[in-house]
Structure 1
Amino acid sequence: MSTQPSKQSQPSPRRAQPPRRGRRPGQESSRQSILEAARARFAAEGFTATTIRRVAADAGVDASQVMQFFRSKEELFAAVMAIPPSALERFATAFEGPDEHLGERVVRAFLAAWEGAPNESEPLMAMLRGAIVNDTAAAALRDFIEARLIDKTRDRAEPDARLRAALASSMLVGLVTGRDIIGVPTLAEADVEEIVAGAAPAIQAILAPAT
């Protein structure tokens, strides 16, 4: 009786594995090293003196790799200090347009960032509370806000741009602190339009003085 040759069992084909998503472990490790190096630099030297090259050297990576993760020093600082990217964009767009009503746009931007949606305001408020009790955090925050104001107003009255930026940043931080942290009754009870009407002319006169 003839028998049919037995078929050799064939291994079942392996299903293609879906590609992994997200950063490779090495990339995530590099990003964390950059953040830790930046945190130390900002704490020791402040925002203005810290450079991308120094952070990269401290983290043991190339400066171009820092820029792959964080497109600018401002974004790197924001990541270290947990400032939402939307807040950075809000501050930047406040300076778009003509000088007229600049003070109003800037005051509205600060109030909207610190008192707006929780995903934006809560990290900023936590950062501000930390700055009140920590001198290093306070210095870094002041330096960051002042530097951004200087950058936006550098073509206006160049000789005293730094002083005007310092005055404006102190007034804006003081406004938010008095209204939302200390809770000065009159400030806390006023609505946004009252605050804008009172503060905007002063910020306008500082950032865009009439010629």
Structure 2
Amino acid sequence: MTAVLIFSLVLIGIAVYFWQKNKNNKKIDPAQDASSKELHLENVRAGGLIHLMNVGPMMEEYDVNILSRSVYRAGQNDEWYELEGETANGKVWITLEYDDGLDVTLATRKLKLRDISINRSDLDTMDEEGEGEFTFEGKTFYYEVSSEASYFRDSQVSPDNEEFFYYWEFETDEGDEFITIEEWESGRFEVTLSSPIKESQVKIYSLGQ
């Protein structure tokens, strides 16, 4: 009787062992889990971590900790997103917009109106005429578009979180650099220098929230 009991306990132990082993083998490893969440740039949120490669005039490479993701809207159909990130050397801003595919631009410099040698009167004239240009650091930037727009901080799209501004966008003939001027309701101006980057220059470590 004792021998039968011992034998039964051994069989039960073996069965439990293989059941547990089979259960563990079915667990999704981190790579599979990450893949299922689609590691695409448009899915990155605050708390995410990405790596940029060969960007800027110095072809730099660095990690970016994502601090926030905000939404911009203009008119009935235009919508784009901005990732604000922190690097070892300061902040960067990455803009994502769909236009026959995903367009990605990287902004690393914040400027002043005086840096580009134009004023509010110049901007009014460009608005009226639908054209204009200026030179900055040896490059000529041409008027592309201007419009009213809305900004929703941290992607919280609601009237309570909506800020209004007017923007002007300028581009070089080669399309390798952009300057965007924003005038906010408070009267302050923000001027940003940016350049296009490819999705292949971005490696995503984590999506964040």
Q: What's the TM-score, normalizing by structure 1?
A: 0.27
Structure with bigger RCO (C-alpha 8 Å, 6+ apart): 2
Q: What's the TM-score, normalizing by structure 2?
A: 0.27
Q: Relative to total residues, which structure has the larger strand share, 1 or 2? A: 2
